[in-house]
Structure 1
């Protein structure tokens, strides 16, 4: 005998789209072999994890229209060479690209741009935890 669970009613969910995406990002990073200590996503969408011997915070950023998720735009930023960029390039981007929900991810210094398979994108900044 199996128990049937009712489908999730998105209208009644207490999670926003940003919260849901932060939880998914935290899960993806938690599964990556080069990260450890991933916390669950905070209310503001912050994701804290340990990589390359330091603790980092990924934080969602608002776009030019004030929205976190933006519509598709033109060129993606070119990768840079800085400590945060190294962690984004070597740890975060490979973890995301291994998941089917993410079409592309690029790093520009301490900024990560994530392109979803749905065609939308958003940006995050990576900073060392205090």
Structure 2
């Protein structure tokens, strides 16, 4: 006897768009060499992972209009920070995203990552060391 699992009814799904994007982003990171231990913490879609011998948290940021996903124009200003977080974003996270067709572009400025989706919208995340 086979049990068929019904498809997810998106109208009844408890996942928000941010949660769904966090799951996709976590899956992409998990499949990339150099990244391990990827989890979605469930707090506004934050993603925890290990890279470069350290644990990191990618935190979704609200844009100027209070929404996570922003319109195509008006990308956020780059963050001035530099250091280990910037290196992990530039050397590990950005290449992982650019290899996936859902992401049109990904740019790292200091500890801030801007992700441009194939839909034309974008969002930002901030990378910080995990506590």
Same fold (TM over 0.5): yes
Cα RMSD of the aligned pairs, angstroms, is: 2.3
Query: Structure 2, unaligned stretches of length 5 or more?
Result: none
Whether 1:51 and 2:51 are equivalent positions in the alignment is yes
Q: Which has the higher strand share?
A: 2
SS at match of 2:63: coil
Tell me what 2:31 maps to: 31
Is the 2:58–2:126 Cα contact (8 Å) retained in structure 1? yes
Aligned to 2:60: 60
**Structure 1 position 79, deviation (Å):** 9.4
Superposed displacement of residue 40, structure 1: 2.9
User: Unaligned regions of 5+ residues in structure 1, if any?
Assistant: none
Rounded Cα–Cα distance in structure 2 between residues aligned with 1:118 and 1:80: 29
Describe the SS at the equivalent of 1:87.
helix
Mapping for residues 45-124 of structure 1, pairs under 5 Å: 45-73=45-73, 77=78, 81-124=82-125
In 2, distance between residues paired with 1:60 and 1:48? 12
Give, in angstroms, the shift of residue 30 of structure 1. Answer: 0.5
